[in-house]
Structures are given as C-alpha cells and as structure tokens.
Amino acid sequence: MASEPVNVNEFQELARKVLPKMYYDFFAGGAEDEYTLKENVEAFHRITIQPRILVDVSRIDMSTVILGHKTSAPIILAPSSAHQLAHPEGEVATARGAAACNVIMGLSFMSTCTVEEVASSCNAVRFFQIYVFKKRDVTEFMVRRAEKNGFRAIILTADTPRLGRREADIKNKMISFRLRNFEGFISTDVVSDKGSNLAAYAEETLDPSLCWKDIAWLKSITKLPILIKGVLNGEDAMKAIEAGVVGIIVSNHGARQLDYSPATISVLEEVVQAVQGKVPVLLDGGIRRGTDIFKALALGAKAVMIGRPVIYGLAAKGESGVKQVIEMLKNELELTMALAGCCTVDDITRSHVKTEKERFLCKM
C-alpha cells in the first residue's frame, strides 16, 4: 500500500498518476520555457526566516479577517478552471473542502460546475473570478449570477488580453472543456486544427481592449467589492487604487501567461510599499509550504492564494484531498509561527525574513 503524502508536493505525483496526460499537463504546465513556473517556487527558497526565541507560543492563532470575513488562516483557494477534469465532483468538492477548513474559495469564470451548484453545495464565503469577454453582456450576466447566489466579491483577472502560449496544451491538442455556466447563453464549441482548442476559444472570446477605464463599467454593474488580479509592479498597484478596487492580487497567472515575468514573491514588497496599506494585498503563485505563507505575510501580504496544490489534492482524493492539502499548509504555518516566535499573524513582521539581496549586503 502506498504511503500517505506528508506534504503538498507529494500530491502532485499522486495527481500525475491518476490523471490523463492531457489533463495533468493542462494543470501543471506553464507558458513557453516555463522559466516563471519554476521561479514562482524557487524564489521562496532564496528567502530565509529570522526566528525569535524564548517567546511564549503555547497558543497560536492563525485566524485573520479578509475584506470583513473572518477565516481560520490567511489562505484563499485561488480561482482555477475545469475542476471536473481533475475529479467528477469538480468545484463542488473543492468548495466543500474549503468550507470544512473555514477558508475562502475563489470560483473561476471557467468553472465546470455552475455558479448555482457551487453556491448551494455548502455554506461558506466565496469570491467569484471573472474574465471580460468581447461580448460584455456575458460577463455582466455572470457577475449578476454570482451576486444573486451570495458570492461576496468579484476578482477581475487583468493579465489575459490573450492566452499565453502553453506548449504542452498545443502538443496535446487540449480540448475545450464543457463550460456549463454559459450553456444556453453563448456557444461553447470551438474547433481548431492548430493545436489547443482552449487557446482557440480564448482567442475568440477574450476582450483584448480591456483597460483601466473599464473598471468603472464593472463597478456600475455590481454592488460587490472588486479585487484585481495580475498586478506585478507598484505602478499598476497605484493605478488599481485610483480605479477604486478594494484589493490587489499579486499574480502572474500561475506562470501560464507571460514567461519571464517575475516570480510573484519577488515583487510582493514593491506592490505593498506602493499600496501603503490602503487596500489588502494578496499573493498568488508558488506556495507549497507553510514557510512560504509565513514569508509572504512577512513581506506584507494579507493572505495567500493556493492554486495547483488544491487541484492535485482534488485529483488524488476528491473533497478529502482538498481538505488534506489545506490542513497540511495550515499545520505547517502553525508550526512555523511557533518556531519563529509569532503567536498571531499580526506578530509576523518584515524583520522575520531576509531576502537574498539583504543577505548579500550583510556580507559586504
């Protein structure tokens, strides 16, 4: 009998064994040379933790408040598409896993379960992620459905005027999955003989004219707070605040869009400094350990988003795998906080980490 996974990285191998190659490559792959895919993870390895000793850590509290919602830990499940390719219960199983662990879930615009199915599956806080289509009424239709079904915020993904070049999907001739949210409203059938059907569908639907002024349009069609996902520098962070968003997500789309864009943890502090506490900053990308979460919080993130590890847990064990991944990260974070001398997430400060640059300067 195979041994149980002891960390979230081991779920990736379990997922690889159970998923068809096309689907595994879809979830695991990145853009072009996959430089950024590797850097998202490896950049964390170049940050060290500076612990404090002889602190009473007999009680550790990882809870935090995100946009007014109390959560058991500074963890949000990142919106990611097509969970039914990983497991038949899809996003419903993911939602239940998140609810059981008392963390927020982000539901993707490109989910394979409907907004209504996820909303009725369990009682929990959920945010809804959107793309803006050329047919704006499609996006408006989905935003209104999310609001009607009790979602608490909108996440605007802003780094996808076109789909990145995902070469594994091209080689595998990745088929476009069933988008049940759109059935009866727009066609979801695209046939392409040039590689990925998914890329062809994105080319046909995504609006490359989307720009900063369109956030005003988005605000006009919903009362929900809006976060923007895809910020990688201080300049865009300031523009986002001027546009009226309530939160910023530092993200490179899981390294699936522009290869050689920076690892998200490497630009987090620049964004945090530009924002100056006006809105919460979340970090998406590369989180594989509780120590990674600790490092992100020390560099100014309010919370982190977890993407691929959740998918791997879902593929391996369904809802229980999702819960196992979340609990592993929570347990690791709790231990890291105790060993670093931090009783609450507010105790985690910039002085608790050193970047590679800071260590180099100390040696000079």
- Are 348 and 297 in contact by the 8 Å Cβ rule? The answer is yes
Dihedral class, residue 170 (left if φ above 0, else alpha if ψ from -120 to 50, else beta): alpha
And the tokens for 27? 């979830």
Q: Is 304 helix (H, G, I), strand (E, B) or coil?
A: strand
Q: Say whether 253 is catalytic.
A: yes
3-state secondary structure 233-266: CHHHHHHHHHHCCCEEEECCHHHCCCCCCCCHHH
Backbone phi and psi for residue 124, each to the nearest 5 degrees, phi listed first: -160, 165
Q: Per the structure block, which two tokens stand in for 181?
A: 């949210």
- 322 contact partners, CB below 8 Å, separation of at least 6: 77, 93, 94, 96, 97, 98, 310, 313, 314
> Within 13 Å of residue 202, how many CA atoms lie on the same side as its CB?
22
Catalytic residue among 83, 87, 253, 352: 253
Cite the active site residues: 253
